[in-house]
Amino acid sequence: MSDRMLTMAEAVREAMSIAFDERPEVFLLGEDVGIYGGAFGVSGDMYHRYGSERVLDTPIAELGIVGAAVGAALSGMRPIVEIQFSDFTAQAMDQIANQAAKIHFMLGGALHVPMVLRTPQGSGTGAAAQHSQNLEPWFASVPGLKVVVPSNPADAKGLLLSAIDDPNPVIFLEHKLLYKIPGRDPVPEGATRIPLGVSKVVREGKDLTIVATGIMVNKSWEVAEKLAAEGITITLIDPRTISPLDMGPVFESVEKTGRLMVVQEGPAQAGFINEVIAQLAGSSSFGSLIAPIKRLAGMNIPIPYAPQLEKAAVPQIDDIEAAAREIVKNWR
Amino acid sequence: MSFKYPVVMPKMSMTMETGELINFHVAVGDQVKSGDVLFEVMTDKIDMEVEAPADGVIESLVANPGDVVEIGKPVLIMLTETEVMAFDFGAEDEPVAAVEVIAAPAPAITTPVAPAAPVILNETVKAVPKARVEAANRGIDLRTVRATGPDRTITMADVNGAQLDPAIAKRQAANKALIAKGIEMTRGIAQASFTRSVNANFDHATFMAAWAKVLRNRPDLAAHEHIGVALIIESKYGSALPVFRDPDQLTIADLAALVASTTDAAKNGKVPVAMLSGATTTVFDLTTYSMSSATPLLFPNQVTSVTIGYESATTKIVSLTIDLNFCDFYDGALLLDALVASL
């Protein structure tokens, strides 16, 4: 095990580089991914290391970018698409939802679409309503797409390698605020894969189960650390892949703690995290609950531009801490 | 000699607090027989005729037709020869409860309740899922559990607090399964009876004190704050059931005197009103009839019932019936054993 502490941007770049080295059919395309190094610096020096044939700068035309990638994938390539902001996937949605997701199934499995679509999402950068959304439920509700939401550099690297291996489309949603933050855990050297569809129990406790996605895993971790000092211990579960979703660890944990809180940044209404609640409510673990399920999620509003309002629109550490205390204190 | 007996506004439903007096069927001075209609009452749910609880004479009309009368408040006063007919099977002290029992017999208790805990019968119950699972496993009726959680929801702490010790709970759960397998139900209550011979001579006072003492060690057997031993006394007016409250806390001499005077009074159809309520167990002495044993019947809201039978000049037979919803065969055997040992 290495002790390298990378940022998520570095870890993603490392995974892409390993895939580039492993397979000549892997290439990257997107707006400003080449000479500029990516809007968030994720591709960095890859243009210079791999050249303009494998790191393609594209016009500002998301539908065309994804369409080209789908076509390349059908032709035996393994494209990695970077969409500059996940909000812009709306432009490309026909290629994503109606082509990439469906082709394998509509042709009886005769063809594959081994494409990865990476894109940054989330609020906190002061970029306002059209550049701050969390759109994971769009993708998670389309059968045929796998959806990955990494919360840390080590997972991002291992999951991205598996996503590139996958014979059909994977949507890879990276939170912008995580790009520049080193993870808590070192990133292993080499091509270590993390399988898709396996939830990670980040830490174990006895009083409360928190299921969180993306950046909310980090915020929940902070809360768990703080409350542990007071004797409230939390099991924190990061699904990592939200489609397919691995609920096993959630059921197991809730059967021990009896309390469940779910946390996501995206809006509460019809949000992905509701799927966790629904599956638990319909499972035999339901009878283990000793408290109502608590949901913390973004408000049902477009992300505001004003920094204070932007912050107030999504769960913050204090919100998670207060909710965790309340559920443990009130329900015994 | 006659007694004043107030006939009160009866409680006819769980939610009833007052009733409207529609009209009287009797006038002052009328001679009435037990069962005669005295007056009619209207509530939001039901109209009902209130009957005379005993033979007697109408002494006065307290309320007026059209009045809205609180439950338990007198509507008319009767003069009766015998007050003993207004039996109270274990409800609370006020006459209102006695009337309520007559109007609609209280449902048999089917669930264990922590000692002295108030019994709360919620129409609907809010409980966390695990509380429901636990309650079902342990045979707890959630309607009897006090909710302390947010929005009056029953939490796990509430269910655990309402529970007896785990060993008892486990036996009750096993017992419940047994009941389900078809133990004969008597009056809707699964029950079991036990009999033992006793080589001892004892009077009613000694017996009741001993029995109360045995029961006092098992506060989980009833939700009552006291032990009320009803002693069945036959008289020419029928059976009287004067209740001796906490007889184990009187001296035997005082208790013996009380039993003697009460028995005399009961045989003349006179039992103090205060002794007509609060029974938690019943004792029936068959030795006066030279009967050896009879199956003691459980009265509503009572978990135990005992008979004393005649076997020989020196030997008596004590029979005990228990409500299997509260205790099992093992409990019953222990209770009878303790009772016999203390005699």
Number of domains in chain B: 2
Report percent pLDDT > 70 for chain A. Answer: 99
Position A42 pLDDT exceeds 70: yes
- In angstroms, what CA-CA distances link A227 with A209, A220, A233, A258, A297? 13, 10, 7, 17, 20
Q: Which residue has the higher pLDDT, A53 or B159?
A: A53
A126-177 pLDDT tens trace: 999 999 999 999 999 999 999 999 999 999 999 999 999 999 999 999 999 9
Q: How confident is the model at residue B105 (pLDDT cuts 50, 70, 90)?
A: very low
Position A223 pLDDT exceeds 70: yes
Of A23, A55, A246, the residue nearest A148 (C-alpha): A246
Closest CA of chain A from B161, distance in Å = 11
| CB < 8 Å & 24+ apart, contacts of A20-23 | A20/A46, A20/A50, A20/A54, A22/A191, A23/A78, A23/A164
pLDDT given at position A55 = 98
Please tell me the distance from the alpha carbon of residue A84 to that of residue A332, in angstroms, as a whole number: 47
ipTM of the complex: 0.79
Q: How confident is the model at residue B171 (pLDDT cuts 50, 70, 90)?
A: low
pLDDT given at position B123 = 54
In a domain, B154, yes or no: no
Q: Which residue has the higher pLDDT, A137 or B331?
A: A137
Position B95 pLDDT exceeds 60: no
Please tell me the distance from the alpha carbon of residue A100 to that of residue A95, in angstroms, as a whole number: 6
Nearest CB to A289; choose among B128, B150, B157: B128
Say yes or no for a CB contact (<8 Å) between B150 and A288: no
State the residue for tokens 């133990």.
B183
In a domain, B118, yes or no: no
Q: For the residues of A46-66, what is the DSSP string, one character each?
A: HHHHH-TTTEEE--S-HHHHH
Say yes or no for a CB contact (<8 Å) between B129 and A287: yes
Position B114 pLDDT exceeds 60: no
Say yes or no for a CB contact (<8 Å) between A290 and B132: no
Residue where a domain stops, chosen among B18, B50, B81: B81
Active-site residue list of A: 62, 131
pLDDT given at position B233 = 85
Backbone angles phi, psi at B214, to 5 degrees: -60, -45
Task: List the single range of A276-285, A292-301, B200-209 with lowest mean pLDDT.
Answer: B200-209
pLDDT given at position A329 = 94
Position A283 pLDDT exceeds 50: yes
Residue where a domain stops, chosen among B81, B112, B147: B81
Task: List the single range of A190-204, B32-46, B181-195 with lowest mean pLDDT.
Answer: B181-195
Q: How confident is the model at residue B86 (pLDDT cuts 50, 70, 90)?
A: very low
In a domain, B103, yes or no: no
Regarding whether B190 and B315 lie in a shared domain, the answer is yes
Closest CA of chain A from B138, distance in Å = 15
Mean pLDDT of A100-121: 97
Position A1 pLDDT exceeds 60: no
In a domain, B139, yes or no: no
Mean pLDDT of B312-320: 88
Q: How confident is the model at residue B101 (pLDDT cuts 50, 70, 90)?
A: very low
pLDDT given at position B42 = 85
* Domain range for B197: 185-342
In a domain, B116, yes or no: no
Position A331 pLDDT exceeds 80: yes
pLDDT given at position B47 = 79
Answer whether A8-178 and A200-330 agree in fold.
Answer: yes
Chain B hits for A292, Cβ within 8 Å: 128
In a domain, B119, yes or no: no
Q: How confident is the model at residue B110 (pLDDT cuts 50, 70, 90)?
A: very low
Please give the model's pTM, rounded to 2 decimal places: 0.60
Q: H-helix or E-strand containing A13?
A: helix A8-22
In a domain, B93, yes or no: no
* Domain A200-330 class, CATH top level: alpha beta
Say yes or no for a CB contact (<8 Å) between B133 and A331: no
In a domain, B123, yes or no: no
Q: How many CB pairs under 8 A join A and B?
A: 31
pLDDT given at position B298 = 80
Q: Where are the domains of chain A?
A: 8-178, 200-330
The CATH number given to whatever domain includes residue B269 is 3.30.559.10
Contact B128, B155 (CB under 8 A): yes
* Domain A8-178 annotated CATH 3.40.50.970: yes
Say yes or no for a CB contact (<8 Å) between B128 and A330: no
Average pLDDT, chain A: 97
Position B178 pLDDT exceeds 70: no
Nearest CA in chain A to B133: A287
